[in-house]
């Protein structure tokens, strides 16, 4: 393996063609398809190239044919399969990136950026081996999640995280914005959600918390858009609602005063399924959320919702009777189906954790299989799209090594396990495989008190997952990946990422 053929994730097809290209450090960029969208992609690429030492490429007039440079063009037909595919050609004469979409161009430019990143030389010129790459991703949902409730990272970190996703050709950021320990998104109609729900009093008396204003969220959405990352916001319901109920206890069954939770776990007080006002509240919240996030998906949680309050509440029991439901699982299904109807009216699609299958998930819901991959098989068999995120392979809050690691929530999911993951389970009938949109790594932050620690838990496991999601299954090789990773970690060094060191 040569370092220059070492992008992560590995391109679908690449081959060295002999000879090499010499490129000046201020190489020219020729934009052969001069549209605002292409100019914007090149602008983002140049911004992302900045941490690479000692390179000053510049966009020049196409007529001013100078020495060898980078040509960027949109073509009318796809360079490979799929809307994210691209072709990258490096010959003695220059470099060309072409694709039929701006997303494809972005990924082609990123691959070239990684090849440039490989260069450590201090010489005036870069020497790059000639090669041909044609590339497209295996899956369309290449996701990473981040829980910002248990610990709260500032907007600058959220941007860094999105940037790092994009650099690994990941395209979905699942932003877990609400949970028992903090509500993190400003909602104008319900100001107490952040006045009260964003803050918790720790055992030592200190107040911990924070939230993102709608203006900050708009900026982050735009930052992500320029990197072809779609944000899927999560508003947890009907469980994991302590922070919201601390602000608005009237939407619980008991109406008791509550505090924003300071312990980790699962709490009995959840949104009341009997009161109409609860639905009005959640629909108002989701309407504001839908206006902020242009992507088609909104995640509504649905996991770990105890039913003890519903079992003992007159209004909930009355609803069960009136609707002819058999149990509280069916009441949760009713709850979720009402929310799904509202999201449809907003032009959005619902995503939920796999518990929303219990009692029947709404038609068209996308399921995140987290308890195990079998839940994903069940979802696909019921006609649902699935994002695979099983604890066995995709939980980056688990330990990375058996000993000498900082305290984590539990579990053991080392780099090799992540790399071995196949999002399409072997027992899934082939005709249902199209329901598997992809997979996602989950980052629950109970035991990640700061952003340094979040990075430590995410990297390099994210690198392995990016290859699971992008590269053809048959090209995957752990020794080859680990070899390329050594160089890739130097790229992460230049981006100031606090990754976990490899052990020999």
Indicate the helix (H) or strand (E) that contains 486.
Answer: helix 478-494
Is 361 within 8 Å of 336 (Cβ atoms)? yes
State in angstroms the smallest separation of the CB of 222 from ligand ACM: 28
Q: 146 has which bridge partners? A: 175
Query: Could you give the angle at which helices 461-470 and 451-458 cross, rounded to 10 degrees?
Result: 50
| Phi/psi of residue 254, nearest 5 degrees | -85, -25
State in angstroms the smallest separation of the CB of 25 from ligand ACM: 47
The residue (of 370 and 459) whose beta carbon lies closer to ligand ACM is 370
Q: Is the dihedral of CA 316, 320, 325, 326 positive or negative?
A: positive
Strands 125-135 and 86-91: antiparallel
The residue (of 104 and 359) whose beta carbon lies closer to ligand ACM is 359
The residue (of 334 and 370) whose beta carbon lies closer to ligand ACM is 370
Is 248 within 8 Å of 187 (Cβ atoms)? no
Q: Which of 288, 304, 422, 450 is catalytic?
A: 304
State in angstroms the smallest separation of the CB of 371 from ligand ACM: 8
Query: Is residue 304 a contact residue for ligand ACM (CB under 6 A)?
Result: yes
Strands 58-60 and 385-388: unpaired
State in angstroms the smallest separation of the CB of 385 from ligand ACM: 17
State in angstroms the smallest separation of the CB of 396 from ligand ACM: 12
The residue (of 370 and 419) whose beta carbon lies closer to ligand ACM is 370
Q: Which residue has the tokens 């940037």?
A: 163
CA–CA distances in Å: residue 71 to residues 55, 87, 96, 125, 248: 17, 12, 5, 18, 57
Site string for ligand ACM, 342-371 (x = CB under 6 A): -----------x----------------x-
State in angstroms the smallest separation of the CB of 29 from ligand ACM: 44
| Residue list 177-236, contact with ligand ACM (CB under 6 A) | none
State in angstroms the smallest separation of the CB of 497 from ligand ACM: 25
DSSP E strands: which ranges in 442-490? none
Q: Count Cα atoms within 13 angstroms, Cβ side, for 128.
A: 32
Q: Token pair of 271, please?
A: 């949104």
304 flagged as catalytic: yes
Q: Which of 4, 176, 240, 488 is catalytic?
A: 240
Q: Which residues contact 136 (CB under 8 A, 6 or more apart)?
A: 12, 80, 81, 82, 84, 85, 86, 104
Query: Is residue 117 a contact residue for ligand ACM (CB under 6 A)?
Result: no
Q: Which of 135, 179, 180, 269 is catalytic?
A: 179
Q: Token pair of 399, please?
A: 């330990």
Q: Which residues contact 75 (CB under 8 A, 6 or more apart)?
A: 98, 99, 100
The residue (of 216 and 304) whose beta carbon lies closer to ligand ACM is 304
Query: Is residue 303 a contact residue for ligand ACM (CB under 6 A)?
Result: yes
Rounded to an integer, what distance in angstroms lies between the CA atom of residue 348 and that of residue 364?
11
240 flagged as catalytic: yes
The residue (of 138 and 384) whose beta carbon lies closer to ligand ACM is 384
DSSP E strands: which ranges in 205-332? 207-209, 230-237, 297-301
The residue (of 179 and 385) whose beta carbon lies closer to ligand ACM is 179
Q: Looking only at Cα atoms, what is the longest distance across the chain? A: 79
Query: Is residue 267 a contact residue for ligand ACM (CB under 6 A)?
Result: no
| Residue list 366-395, contact with ligand ACM (CB under 6 A) | 370
State in angstroms the smallest separation of the CB of 431 from ligand ACM: 28
The residue (of 175 and 353) whose beta carbon lies closer to ligand ACM is 353
Query: Is residue 396 a contact residue for ligand ACM (CB under 6 A)?
Result: no
CA-closest candidate to residue 108, choices 189, 196, 38, 192: 38
Taking CB atoms within 8 Å and a gap of at least 24, the contacts of 156-162 are: 157/451, 157/454, 158/212, 158/220, 159/220, 159/223, 160/451, 161/454, 161/458, 162/220, 162/223, 162/224, 162/227, 162/229, 162/231
The residue (of 106 and 370) whose beta carbon lies closer to ligand ACM is 370
Three-class SS state of 64: coil
State in angstroms the smallest separation of the CB of 103 from ligand ACM: 29
State in angstroms the smallest separation of the CB of 445 from ligand ACM: 12
The residue (of 445 and 466) whose beta carbon lies closer to ligand ACM is 445
CA-closest candidate to residue 415, choices 463, 476, 455: 463
179 flagged as catalytic: yes
Contacts with ligand ACM by CB under 6 A lie at: 303-304, 353, 370
Q: Which residues are catalytic?
A: 179, 240, 304
């Amino acid at each position: 393996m040569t370092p220059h053929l070492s992008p992560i994730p590995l391109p679908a097809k690449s081959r060295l063609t002999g000879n090499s290209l010499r490129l000046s450090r201020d190489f020219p960029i020729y934009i052969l398809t001069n549209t605002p969208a292409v100019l914007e992609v090149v602008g983002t690429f140049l911004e992302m190239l900045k941490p690479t030492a000692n390179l000053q490429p510049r966009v020049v007039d196409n007529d001013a044919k100078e020495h060898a440079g980078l040509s960027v063009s949109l073509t009318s037909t796809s360079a490979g399969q799929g809307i994210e595919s691209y072709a990258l050609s490096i010959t003695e004469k220059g470099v060309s990136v072409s694709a039929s979409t701006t997303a494809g161009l972005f990924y082609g430019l990123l691959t070239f950026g990684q090849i440039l990143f490989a260069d450590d030389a201090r010489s005036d010129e870069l020497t790059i081996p000639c090669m041909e790459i044609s590339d497209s991703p295996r899956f369309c949902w290449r996701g990473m999640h981040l829980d910002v409730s248990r610990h709260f990272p500032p907007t600058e970190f959220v941007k860094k995280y999105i940037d790092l996703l994009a650099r690994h050709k990941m395209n979905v950021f699942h932003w877990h914005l609400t949970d028992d320990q903090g509500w993190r998104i400003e909602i104008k109609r319900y100001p107490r959600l952040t006045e009260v729900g964003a803050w918790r009093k720790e055992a030592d008396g200190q107040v911990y918390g924070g939230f993102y204003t709608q203006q900050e969220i708009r900026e982050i959405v735009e930052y992500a858009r320029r990197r072809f990352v779609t944000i899927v916001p999560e508003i947890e319901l009907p469980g994991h609602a302590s922070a919201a109920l601390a602000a608005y206890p009237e939407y619980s069954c008991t109406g008791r005063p509550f505090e924003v939770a300071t312990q980790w776990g699962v709490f009995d007080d959840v949104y009341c399924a009997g009161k109409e006002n609860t639905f009005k509240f959640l629909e108002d919240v989701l309407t504001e959320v839908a206006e902020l996030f242009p992507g088609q998906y909104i995640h509504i949680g649905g996991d770990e919702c105890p039913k003890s309050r519903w079992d003992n509440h007159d209004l909930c029991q009355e609803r069960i009777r009136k609707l002819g439901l058999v149990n509280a699982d069916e009441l949760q299904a009713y709850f979720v189906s009402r929310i799904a109807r509202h999201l449809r009216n907003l032009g959005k699609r619902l995503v939920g954790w796999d518990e929303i299958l219990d009692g029947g998930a709404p038609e068209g819901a996308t399921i995140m299989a987290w308890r195990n991959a079998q839940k994903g098989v069940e979802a696909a068999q019921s006609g649902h799209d699935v994002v695979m995120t099983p604890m066995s392979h995709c939980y980056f809050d688990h330990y990375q090594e058996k000993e000498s690691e900082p305290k984590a929530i539990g579990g053991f999911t080392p780099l090799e396990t992540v790399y071995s993951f196949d999002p399409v389970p072997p027992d899934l009938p082939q005709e249902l495989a199209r329901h598997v949109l992809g997979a996602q790594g989950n980052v629950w932050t109970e035991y990640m008190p700061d952003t340094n620690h979040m990075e430590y838990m995410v990297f390099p496991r994210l690198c392995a997952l990016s290859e699971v999601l992008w590269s053809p299954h048959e090209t995957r090789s752990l020794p080859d990946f680990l070899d390329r990773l050594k160089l890739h970690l130097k790229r992460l060094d230049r981006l100031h990422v606090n990754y976990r060191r490899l052990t020999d």
